[in-house]
Every structure is written in structure tokens, then in C-alpha cells.
Structure 1
Amino acid sequence: MIKLEDISVQQIKGVSAQKEQELHAFGVHSVADLLDYFPYRYEDYRIRGLEEAKDGEKVTIQGKIMSDGLLQRYGKGKSRLTCRVAVEGLLVTAVWFNRHFLKEQLTSGREIVLTGKWEQRRLQITVSESEFPDRGTMRSGSVQPVYSVGGSITQAWMRKTLAQALAQYGSMLEEILPVHLVDKHQLMTRKEAVELIHNPGDAEAGQTARRRLVYEELFLFQLKLQAYRALTRDRVQGVAHVVSAESIRQFVKTLPFELTDSQKKVVNEILIDMRSPGCMNRLLQGDVGSGKTVVAAIALFATVQAGHQGALMVPTEILADQHYRSLQKMFGAVGIEVGLLTGSMTERRKRDVLAGLQMGLIQVVVGTHAIIQDGVHFNSLGLVVTDEQHRFGVNQRSILRRKGINPDVLTMTATPIPRTLAITAFGDMDVSTLRERPKGRKPIQSYWVKHSMLDRVLGFIRREADLGRQAYFICPLIEESEKLDVQNAIDLHVQLQQAFPDMAIGLLHGRLSTAEKDEAMAAFSRNETQVLVATTVVEVGVDVPNATLMIIMDAERFGLSQLHQLRGRVGRGEHQSYCVLIADPKSEVGRERMKVMTVTDDGFEVARRDLDIRGPGDFFGTKQSGVPDFKLADMAVDFAILEEAREDAADLTRQEDFWTNPIYSRLRDLLKRDQLFQGDLLD
């Protein structure tokens, strides 16, 4: 039986070979891909009365042209076209910019429908789209989907092509969800939902269709996680680490600091998992500076004590080098051999490390993605730790996992996530949380100042530099932009060099090569540069205990979670640290963010307030959490649906019936199609 996934988009009437290639750039290859290319919002073209039109908003109105079009040309190829339109007894001025070709169509007495920005005081509409009822086909009076488009693919073409695709192939849309779940949640059928989301008639119908498709998307996501959990926990023999509590206590005594109560609790949770014969799959989340590395070190010590090897994978070479040095210090007293493996190492050093791993002479290895290269072989890999796990793809993590025989897995993140949301989002993991700061760490003092106080901020930098300390200076953009009036890194770097001619000012941004970034950060770590001007590439990264000042320019441009991550780059040493937010926020949301940052430095409280203020935004995007970029679903807005989907998926995968009954074959096929099965394992 032919499925929509097997039919090329070129089979749709009106899709040429050129258009097919352009659709490929959007990830659309088959008819199924196109039908699942959902609108991200709707344009309301329903005609409104002037009493409903709000100043500054987009409206659609209908009236009669009362004067011929008046065309004014200015600048190079620019024009302004105006005419007067009678709407409900009022004379409205309609203005088009750079639409000179419409002049001949604007004849007195002709009916016209206008869509654009309404200015109440001037009784004027700046027209973005216009239609003439005497032409027949009308968009007005309806709600139209808006898609992400580009190149020669326009909104009009996409709407027309999707309508054609539904006409040709809509009857082939199959139900994916089990019938009992459709009935349980009173959902419309998949066919109805896909048709309605592309052609809703009104916004309410579009929302009903969206709810059905959001549930489906979240259910299928959770099904993968829960199926993985069911298979790995119940059917897979992992590494049972035999390690005594006394040896762990003796190792902890060698550390130069006392564990917090939170660290002790999390270590116990991890060790219970490691001692069991099943595969540990645990997420360790903790605020910046909460001591996750020490917890990981104790877990790595436990795997070595049990006769196995451990691997710690991190996203950058600087971070790898930092962890390597800190683990060497911690493990030096107990005789554990630590190796480092990165892409920039010499071939000779790399060969030595590879040989040491294969023979079991190196017991713990720290490295970047170089660890997952084909030539890396372990003698007995018992534990895999990934730091800032969202930086690695699922495939990269699974390759490392397969270098052992079902080793335990500990993933760490500094992105604080409310516990209930974390457990739901990371449905395949148990979640441990570090809430306390290590003893001796001083809270970071945060201040919000206006741009007019920049001179005082520069004086603050001078004061800290005179004490031998260092400062980060963060800004949103690399180069000047006409669109955003924000400070940029390159200009700011020049300004600070002029302000502090006796100080070394570093520059770090995303357009530098990896080697240049590493060198800029390394120079700052060595205190060869006193101030580092940077974009957000320093958000997650190197520990520079001597850096005590974090200044964030145009702070209102950042989300709360991002601001908190940036603030966490300081406050890592014994000296008092500060975060200065330079901002003149115009919006209430911007002002609220600044207030939150100055009243709390608890990452979990910041995360909770972030969700309260504006939903997840980048908080739950792919950049920070590892959660996939959903087509429709929003992890916070659709949290209730996510909870339902998780429970349903967990219930289903626990039943033997799910793995054998033909009625669930479509769902099992989807798991296989996504290449989630490795032999009998889902990964």
C-alpha cells in the first residue's frame, strides 16, 4: 500500500522541479512532509467595523474609493500612493508605499477592501494588502494561514499548493493515534485536524485542530522516550557496579571541601542506580556553580573502584582541559590515571591515550567529540558522563554509549528546569537536582543601570582591575545592525581599548574560528587580558575564578534564563562578584526581567519566573535543553497536554500488548522508521 511518505511533492499539481528543490530546503520531500508543514500563525482578514479597529493594530476594512489615486515619487525608485475611501460614513486616507502600479486601479466609485495598520487619530490606514470585490476571488472575510516561506515560494503559492495537496491526497490521511486515546481526550480525527489547520475558516477551529496535532506530536515524542525506558530498564543487562560505601567515604575525605547536603543526596541517588544491574540513565541538573563536577567525579571514582573505566564528554576543548586538570587534582591522591583526548592533540599524544584506554591503563578519559571517533576503544567502559548534554546530538551520545556494553549514563546540565517540567520533558531519565551552593561561595550582587550611567560602569571596571580582577562585557550582536539599536561587540571592543589604553582587552564572538575562540578564552583564563568583550558564546563554559564582574549591555534583549547563565560565569572564586545589567527596557516584560535578576540569583526561581513572564522561549529551545524543536508544541504553554501525553505513552509501553498487537503496528513502524531500534534496543 502506497503511503503519503512515499509520494514525492512533485506529484502535486503545480509543483515544478524548481519548486520541488526549494521545498527540499524547508525539509519538505514528500506529500506527508508538506501536509505536516503547519502554519505558525493566522492572518485575520475578516472585515471589521471602524468602531472595532484599535489604534496601531492590523485591520481589514471595506469601503468605496472617493478620489483617484495620487502618486508621489521620492528617492531612488520609491513612491507613495494615496486615495480617499468612504468607510461607514467617514473619509479614510489609504496609503501604499512602493505600489505605484496600483494607481490605474484606484478609480472613484470602485469598492475596495484594505488590510493594514490603522491610525485612529489621522483616520489613516497604511495598506499592506488590498483587494477589489469586483474581481471575484477574495481573501478577505476569512482567516488565512501564514507559513515560513522564502525564495520564490510565497504565502499565496504555499496556500494554493497545500489546498491542491489536500484535494489530491487528503483522503489518504491515516489515523496515527490509538482509538482509545482519541476517544479519551475527545480529539478530532487526524484527517479533520490536518485539513482544518491549513484551512480553519476561523481562528477557533484552527486552535481546536492545533490541540489535536500538538497532543499527537507530544505523544509520539514521549512514546520514543517511554519505549526506550521500558526496553532498557526491563530487558537490558547493564553494568552492576560493586563498590563499597567505605571507599566512597574515604575518597570524599580527600576532597579539599565538604559536600553540601544536596550533593550528598544526589550522590546517593546515583550510586544506588550504579549498583543495580539495570542501565542508569540520569539527568543531573544544577544551578551554575552548584558543584556538578564533584558529583560526576565521585561517580567516575565509583566506576573505577568497580573495575571499569569512565568517560566525560564536554562540548569544547577549553572545557575539556579545565575538567582534565580538576580531575587530575581530585584523583591524584587515590592513584587514578586520567587521560585527555581532543581534536587538536598531536598524533603521538593521541596514540598514547588510545593505547592507554584500550589496555585499561587510563581509567578516566576527558574529551570532546574526539572520544566518539572510530579508533577509540575502551577496555571496559562502565560510566559515560556528558556535560552540557544539549550540545551533543542524540547520535553522538549513543555512539559513546555503545563503546561499552550498556554502560551507565549520567548527563549534566546547568540549565535550571522546574522539576515537574524536567521529569516530563526528559521522560526517559531519572532527574537529580542540586539546589545548594558549595560553602564559601558568596552570592553575586546584581544591579540594573541605565545607559546614561556607562561612565560609572567603566569606573567600576577600573576599580576591579586595580584589585587584579577581570571583567566580562557582553553584548547581543557582533556587528552594527540597522534593524536593532544595540551595542555591538566589535565597536565596543574599540571603545574599551580607547577607554583603557593600559589594559589588554580581548574579543570573543561566534564568527571566530574554533582555534581563535579557544585562544581568546585561554588568554582570559591566564589573566593575559583583563576585560573580555564577548557575545553569548561564553554563556556555558570556562571557569575563571579571577573574573568578578559581568556587564551585560542591552540586557533587555536577552531572556531571563540566558541572563542567569551569563551571570554564572562570575562568582566562582573567593572574591565578591557583581553582575551589572545595562538596559533601558521599553516593555513591561523587559522591566520585569531586570527586576527578577536584581532580587534573586537562584536559577530555579529565575526559571520559574521566566515561565511566568513569557513562557519558555529559548528556555526550552534546542539550544539549551536538548528537547527537540517541535513543529507546533510549546513545552510550557502545552504543559498540561505534555503531562497527558507522557502518562498515556508510559501506560501504553508498559503493556505487553503494545509490542505484539497488530493495532499498534503503525506506532511501532514509526519507532523503527526513526531508526530508534538498534537490534532489540531503542536508542
Structure 2
Amino acid sequence: MPSISLKTPLVDLAAIKGSGLSPAVARKLAAAVAGFAGRVDPYDTNVEDLLCYFPARYEDRSNLLQIDKLYDGIEASVELFVRVSGAFQVGKNRGPKKPPLYIFELTGGDRERVRKPVVVMWFISGKTAKPVIEYYSKRFSRGVRLVAHGRWEWDGRRNTFVLKVNRPEELEILPNSEDDETFGLLSTVSDSQSASPAPSQDREDEELEKDEIRAEFATVHTARHVPVYRKLGPFQTKRLREILSFVVKELDVGSVDENLPSGLRERNGLINRADAITEIHFPPDSAKISEYESYRSNAHRRLIFEEFFWLSLSLQLIRGERRKESKGSVIEITDEMKRRIAELLPFRLTEAQRRVVRQIFADLTSDAPMNRLIQGDVGSGKTIVAFITMFAAIENGYQAALMAPTEILADQHYRNARSFFEKAGYQVGLLIGSMKATEKRRIQESIAKGEIQVIIGTHALIQDAVEFEDLGVAVIDEQHRFGVLQRAALKKLGTNPDVLVMTATPIPRSLAMTVYGDLDVSLIDELPPGR
């Protein structure tokens, strides 16, 4: 009977027969997963958190690329048997204060020793370079079988292919095949040559670094579609693969609740959640590895759809609640106001700007508070649209604020705002963090009394000392530079004011509707003449 459910605590895996985890290693696993899953207490992590740590890529080890099939620039996984390994020092003229620099190289060939060997290399430096070299020399001793993945390049000097790696721990050592002794590859390997733990490594991590593979896990690493994981805490991909193989095998699929309606799954051709969770880690033999590499497998499609479905639904619920909120400011758009705006404008608006202004005016006069995102390239005229929005609020007796992510940008907006609003008789103030305390207090008092109608600033606008007499519109420039909390803090400065956010970051409309699902999206897709 399966003994594991999605809610099984990771620290309890050590007590389950066949897990191969000691209590200390189970605690380390829980701590590593807690960091990934955002858990404060590692004892709260469970099997579902672990199963959400998806593979970074997949390898078809039922058909690894042969050395003679390599070509310059190919990214591929190649099975190698180490023939010789070692390091040599380079950059001997680097200076006495710089640490020594070495290149570690291993030369590997095919099991049959009939194809030209290739080279895998990486740099080692620092005061502990020599013990590190000793560690790698033992780890990659003669006859060791491994898989090397990356971009292979032709080296004319060596007259062979070379793979340069940044993290040699990603070179995965495989169990030796039963025919190795026939070819003499292991004849010089003794037990004393097995790699000891890497320098500076905790003794508790020794179990994680062992290259020996238990018999029950031998087939997990070879002769199949194999998941490759990024290192998680002290756990390398091979150890993670073994742990996840055990978890998937012992998982009670009945504990995996289906969270999508059957009709929705059928219409979109989606597999059930239990199959998706297991197949994303261990693809079935009939699966196409190319679909997994491109995230188009049945498992990927199901889990991606599920995540976007629930995100979209939650944002729609938030939007629905927002539209039920009562609006603190009542803004009227009159013909006289439109005439005054036209007199202030130094140029004629583009059709795209006029379309967005009409959308904003409809929001301002509605019963629900505005929450709109304007997306447009640099120079498309987002700022003048924001000024028109702020002017509409001021004409109705409210204050308007614009928050920028940097003091330089805030100062630029301040100068432009003065030339626009002061012609209409309105006062413009600047509030930024670098101001002297006395100047800040003067501006804050003027804001609280309503003497300043337009306030431009940075995060200083959302400090506790800032109080508005009656904030009607809040504008946030470069939306992606502010978090949700900053946006909410600015909104709280008024009685549910209308909020307009701007960004020049290119976002496809479909993605914008998802990421900014609580916002209505407007696009300025036309540049003014001469830009």
C-alpha cells in the first residue's frame, strides 16, 4: 500500500522504509525545500512542496549522443568514461596578491575506446584550490562513467571537442555498466580512490555526495527519459532524482485532489492532476522528449493551465470586489473643462492618446474607483495623459499625486508639471527623500491644508507624515518598479481615490491582462509626429 500523501511532512520520510534518508538528511531536505517554497518553518514543508520543484531539463538517456556525432556549437548530453584527469596552473604572472588559478581537465571517451576522446574543463582558484583539485582528481578517476551536458566546441589546438563547464558538480556520475571490466577501464580503480567529501564540506553532507547508487535506483538514472534538477541546497540532481523517484512510487494518488472541473479538462484536452504531477518528474517511455524540453508535454500543459486558471480566477474576483467599492471622489467631466484642457495642451494629441483619455474619463465619472494601467513606449505621451487625468481631479476640487521610482524622474515630472498646471493657476509641490527636514515639513503642511493641488514625489509620498486634504487621483509611474504594497499605501492616502499606473515595459496584452488582472489595461500604440 502507498505510504505517502501530498501532506506527508518531509521530515517524516526518514521513517518510511525504502526512502534511503536518515533523519539528518530528511531535515536538510525539508530546510532546502522550505527556502524554495517560501515556508518559514522547515517542519511545515510537505511532499507537495517537494513535487513542485520541477526539473530544469530532461535527457533521453535511452539514446545518448555518441562522440562521433558531435559538431561545433551543439548542446548535447554525452556519456563518457574518464581516461585521465588532472589540473595545471595558468596565469603564473597574475601577481603575488592574487590567488592561484588552475584549469582542471578530464579526458573521456566511449566505452568501446574506438572514438576520439573529448575534453571537459573548468577553472579552479582560491586558497583552497589544491584540496579541491585533489577532490576532483579522486572523484573523476580513471574509468568513472559520467554524463556531460552543455555546449560543445571544436578546439583546433587539441584537435577534438571541448566542453567548458561553470559548475563541475553538474557532471553526473553514473553507475558503471557490467561490461566495463571487459575493456579494462576499471582495472586501476581501487576502493581507496573513491572520492572523499569536497573541502569545506560539513560531515553531515557526506551522505549527499556519495556516488554509489543503490540497486533499486540504478534504472532511475539511465536507459530512460531522465529529469535533471538544479541543485537544491546541498542536494545534487542525482540525489534529488532518487528521492523524487521514491516519493512518486510510494505516493497515494488518491491523496491528489483534482482541482479542475472535469468538463473544463475535457474541453482543453488536459490530463488529471495526479498523472501530471508524476509525469512531469518522470516522463513515460512513450513521451517525446522534445515536448518536455519545450514545456509542451501533457504534464506541462496541465500544470501551466492550472496555475494560470486559478491566478486569473482570483484576479477576476479581486476586480469584482473592487468594482463593488464605493468611490470617495465624484468627478464630473464638463465641456468647459475639456476646453481648458485643450488650451493648456502645447500640441494635438494622437488618436491613441485621445482613445485612452476617453477610457479614463469614463472611469472617472463611474461609480467604481478607477484602477487602470497605461502601457506605451518611451515618448508615446503617457505623461501628458496622466496630467490630463490629474487636471480633471483638480478642476473638481481634489488633489492629485504622481509617484515616480527615482528622484531624477520625480524632478523631471515636477518641472513638466509646473509648466502645465501653473498656467491654470494651480500650485505644484515636490516631495523627495533628499530634501532637508524643514523643507519636507513645509511641503507636508501645505499638502495637508490643500494649498498644493499637485504633488510630485517618490516613496516619500507614502510616509506616515504625509496627509492629504482630499486626494482624488493617484498616478504611479513605472508600475513594475513598485510592489503591490506601495501601490496600496498610496491609494490609502485618499478616500479610495482613482488610481492610474504607467509603464513603458513591453507587455503582450494577453500577459498584461493576467499579470495586471486587477487593472484595466489601456495601450498607447502610436507615437506623436516627429518621434
Alignment partner of 1:101 is 2:111: no
Partner of 1:140: 222
Alignment partner of 1:213 is 2:237: no
**1:115-154 mapped onto 2 (5 Å cutoff):** 115=148, 128-131=171-174, 132-134=176-178, 137-138=218-219, 139-149=221-231, 151-154=233-236
TM-score relative to the length of structure 1? 0.56
Aligned-pair identity in percent equals: 36
Q: What are the superposed Cα offsets for residues 124-144 of structure 1, whole Å, 9 maximum, x if unpaired?
A: 786944531237514121222
Which whole-Å CA distance do the structure 1 matches of 2:400 and 2:298 have between them? 49
Partner of 2:53: 37
| Counterpart contact for 1:274–1:280, Cα < 8 Å | yes
1:290 deviation in Å? 1.8
**1:249-328 mapped onto 2 (5 Å cutoff):** 249-328=339-418
Q: What are the superposed Cα offsets for residues 211-245 of structure 1, whole Å, 9 maximum, x if unpaired?
A: 11110111122122211222222454463312312
Gap change, CA 1:177 and 1:398, over 3 Å in 2: farther
Partner of 1:185: 268
Report SS of the residue matched to 2:408: helix
With 162-171 and 430-439 compared, the bigger mean Cα shift is at 162-171
Partner of 1:12: 13
Partner of 2:71: 55
Of 227, 233, 247, which residue of structure 1 is paired with 2:317?
Answer: 227
Which whole-Å CA distance do the structure 1 matches of 2:240 and 2:281 have between them? 10
Of 478, 492, 503, which residue of structure 2 is paired with 1:388?
Answer: 478
Partner of 1:401: 491
Q: Which has the larger radius of gyration?
A: 2
| Counterpart contact for 2:67–2:115, Cα < 8 Å | no
Structure 2 portions without partners, runs of 5+: 15-20, 40-44, 90-100, 122-132, 165-170, 179-212
Amino acid at match of 1:40: A
Amino acid at match of 1:37: Y
Of 265, 278, 303, which residue of structure 2 is paired with 1:195?
Answer: 278
Alignment partner of 1:21 is 2:37: no
| Counterpart contact for 2:60–2:225, Cα < 8 Å | yes
RMSD of Structure 2 on Structure 1 (CA): 3.6
Partner of 2:88: 74
**1:125-524 mapped onto 2 (5 Å cutoff):** 128-131=171-174, 132-134=176-178, 137-138=218-219, 139-149=221-231, 151-166=233-248, 171=253, 172-201=255-284, 202=287, 203=289, 206=292, 207-234=297-324, 236-237=326-327, 239-419=329-509, 421-423=511-513, 425-439=515-529, 441=530, 443=531
Which whole-Å CA distance do the structure 2 matches of 1:344 and 1:246 have between them? 39
Which whole-Å CA distance do the structure 1 matches of 2:6 and 2:432 have between them? 41
1:210 deviation in Å? 0.6
Aligned length: 431
1:170 deviation in Å? 5.2
Report SS of the residue matched to 1:133: coil
1:168 deviation in Å? 5.9
Which whole-Å CA distance do the structure 2 matches of 1:349 and 1:328 have between them? 18
| Counterpart contact for 1:239–1:278, Cα < 8 Å | no
Report SS of the residue matched to 1:240: coil
| Counterpart contact for 1:288–1:414, Cα < 8 Å | yes
Report SS of the residue matched to 1:162: helix
Gap change, CA 1:178 and 1:353, over 3 Å in 2: farther
Which whole-Å CA distance do the structure 1 matches of 2:409 and 2:265 have between them? 47
Which whole-Å CA distance do the structure 2 matches of 1:255 and 1:59 have between them? 60
Q: What are the superposed Cα offsets for residues 233-291 of structure 1, whole Å, 9 maximum, x if unpaired?
A: 24544633123121232133033333333322322221121111122222212221122
Which whole-Å CA distance do the structure 2 matches of 1:351 and 1:61 have between them? 68
Gap change, CA 1:78 and 1:293, over 3 Å in 2: closer
Report SS of the residue matched to 2:53: coil
Which whole-Å CA distance do the structure 2 matches of 1:419 and 1:106 have between them? 55
Amino acid at match of 1:192: D
Report SS of the residue matched to 2:117: strand
1:199 deviation in Å? 1.7
1:304 deviation in Å? 1.2
Amino acid at match of 2:13: I
Which whole-Å CA distance do the structure 2 matches of 1:396 and 1:416 have between them? 22
Which whole-Å CA distance do the structure 1 matches of 2:139 and 2:31 have between them? 33
Gap change, CA 1:153 and 1:404, over 3 Å in 2: same
1:5 deviation in Å? 8.8
Which whole-Å CA distance do the structure 2 matches of 1:323 and 1:77 have between them? 53
1:319 deviation in Å? 1.1
Which whole-Å CA distance do the structure 2 matches of 1:52 and 1:287 have between them? 49
